[in-house]
Amino acid sequence: MGKMKIAIQGELGAYSHIAVEQLYQDAEIKTCSTFEDTFKQAYNDSTYKIIIPIENSLAGRVADIHYLLPKYKLQIHGEYFLPVVHNLLGKPDATIDDIKYVRSHAQAISQCQKIITEKNFKPIISVDTAGSAKDLAEGKDKTIAAIASDLSAKMYNLKVLKKNIEDDSGNVTRFLIMGKNIEQPEYNKKKKYITSCIFRVKSEPSALYKCLGGFATNQVNLTKLESFSVKNTFDQANFYLDLEGHLEDVGVKKALEELSFHTETLDILGVYESSKFREK
C-alpha cells in the first residue's frame, strides 16, 4: 500500500501540516494556495484526502469552508482537534523591539490581539500562517514578524521572538478529514459518532422550528447549528448541523426523516467517530 496522500491549504509548516503529521505517519502532502483549490484536489482525484480547518475555539468558524461544503459535497471521514500554539517569528538577526508589522492569516491575527495591541504592531493579513513565515524568510525587512507555528520557524530558519502569544491558552482548531468516497463506519453501539449535514429550509413560517422539532422528540443532541446565506441573497439560508449519533441509530434516522419533510435540500456530509477530545 502506498503513502497516504493529503492535500492542505497553505505552505508546509501550517497548522494543517501539523495535524497531518499527528494523524498520519509519512504522508505525502500536497500544498494548495486556497481552500477551494484544496477541495478541487480531492474532488478531481479520489486518491487524495484533505484536512481542512472548519472552526476555532477563539475565532469561530473559518471563512469560506461552509460555502465549499455544499459545492463539492466531499464526505467527512473524521474530525481532529488540534491545540494551537502561536509564536511571533522574526528574521534571525531581529529582536522584538525591531518589529513594527506582524503578518499572518486573519484567524491568527484575531487570536493574538493582546500582543498586537500592547506592542502597537500594524497587522498585515495573509493567506496563511506558514506562507507568512515563508515570505518573511525570503524578504529582507526585519521590522516584519510573522505569527505561525514553531514548525514554520524550523522549516524557514526563523527566530522565535516570543512563544505562546495567543490570547487564551485553550486555543483549539477543529479539522475535518474529507474525501470523495464515502467511508461510513460500521455502527457499533459502544462507540460515539457524529453525523454532519447541510440543509436548506423551505421558505415558509416556522420552517426552522419544524426542522428541529424531530431532534427534540427523538432526543438527539445537536452539537452545532450554523446558518449562512445562499449565494448572494438574504432571502434564504443554508444550515450546517452536527449531531451526536449514527445514521443507524433509530432516533437519528427518525429525526432526519422529519427534517427532510421541511427542507428543500438535505445533504449528509458524513458519519464518523466522535473525537476523544469531545469527552474532555
Alpha helix locations (H) across 88-149?
Answer: 106-111, 113-119, 129-138
The answer to whether residue 185 sits within a structural domain is no
Please tell me whether residues 213 and 269 are part of one structural domain.
Answer: yes
Helix (H, G, I), strand (E, B) or coil at 154: helix
Q: How many domains does the chain have?
A: 3
The answer to whether residue 187 sits within a structural domain is no
Out of 127, 150, 179, pick the residue that ends a domain.
179
CB count within 10 Å of CB 122 equals: 12
The pLDDT of residue 232 is 63
Range of the structural domain that residue 103 is part of: 87-162
Please tell me whether residues 209 and 240 are part of one structural domain.
Answer: yes
Please tell me whether residues 274 and 197 are part of one structural domain.
Answer: yes
The answer to whether residue 123 sits within a structural domain is yes
Please tell me whether residues 91 and 158 are part of one structural domain.
Answer: yes
The pLDDT of residue 156 is 96
Please tell me whether residues 234 and 274 are part of one structural domain.
Answer: yes
Per run of 10 residues, the mean pLDDT along the chain (length 280 residues) is 87 95 93 95 96 88 86 95 96 96 92 95 93 95 96 96 91 94 88 96 85 95 89 75 96 95 93 91
Please tell me whether residues 17 and 33 are part of one structural domain.
Answer: yes
CATH number of the domain to which 234 belongs: 3.30.70.260
What percent of the chain is helix, strand and coil (3-state, nearest 5)?
30, 35, 35
Q: Which active-site residues does the annotation give?
A: 173, 175
The answer to whether residue 186 sits within a structural domain is no
CATH number of the domain to which 104 belongs: 3.40.190.10
The pLDDT of residue 234 is 64
